[in-house]
Structure 1
Amino acid sequence: MLQFHVAIYEIVDDPSLDSTISWSKSSKSFIIWNPKELFTKKILKRFFCCNLSQFITELDTYGFVRIEGSDEQLEFGHKQFFVRGKPELLKKMRLQAAMNRMKKSAKKAKARAEAEKNGEPRIIINADEVRMRYKQIFESSSSSTIAKTPLENRFRHLRI
């Protein structure tokens, strides 16, 4: 499976998809001309994106931003590393995304450590409580079609 940023580049660079998604005139961004078609034709199936919001979230992870002034279409670009004819820049994009994830993770860890230092309680889930709750949800769901909460109802058909 291709990495997200490489697959995006290939899709945008594919002339057969120009009516759906293509490079912008600047060659530093891409335009989604028909968002619905991206999903109905399963063009984005290799990204495991079920809908446009998931796709946009993934774009954000790699540093893409929505281009202002393109209200009719969805236009996304990258500040440095997404340029037509320069796929070698994608390596730098991947490194930058990895560095950003590491910084974000370190920031969260620091915030957790600070919270613990200040005496804020951590939520610890007891395995026995989880098993008991599982039984309540799934064993009783066979007798009733509606679970206690929307989330439980959503997954009542699953059997682990």
Structure 2
Amino acid sequence: MTPDIETLYLAWHELDQAYKDIKYLERAFLFDPDDRQLGTIQKAALYIQDASVRIHHQWEQLSVLHYVRPEMMRDYLTLRVKGLTSAIDEIGYDGMFLTIYRPHVKHQTVTSALDSARDIIEKNKRLLNQIRETLLPVAGPLEHNANARERNRSRMAAS
């Protein structure tokens, strides 16, 4: 488990660098009042940053596994599986928004950076999913979460 968590940290660091690179590239568009690409690039950067924050949060939560008391480990892992599931979904949305914004950017260097960031997000998403699949057998039952989701869907449909 520890190598996967270390790999996640390195992959997160790679995404953080991609975010910084895009923020650097957006400077070229600051002084052109007629160019509307700046807003698009800034919005795309926000989705990269959102994915980065979510991934880093998951890494922080997973990196403390060695400090969890053995009698609390199953509960902690159950919460981590739920957190990972939610993060994977949200990070997937961040990647989809990058796909939506990319065609509106005409500058080749920026589009390459956006493609790279999207690929890194997918890499991180796969790592999170791999960790989640590793934790599933040792985590507690997740039916409560599925039942709560079904109740929420029923309530939404009724209103």
TM-score with structure 2 setting the length: 0.32
Higher strand share: 1
Which is higher, the Rg of structure 1 or of structure 2? 1
TM-score if structure 1 supplies the norm length? Answer: 0.32
Higher relative contact order (CA 8 A, sep 6+): 2
Structure that is richer in helix per residue: 2
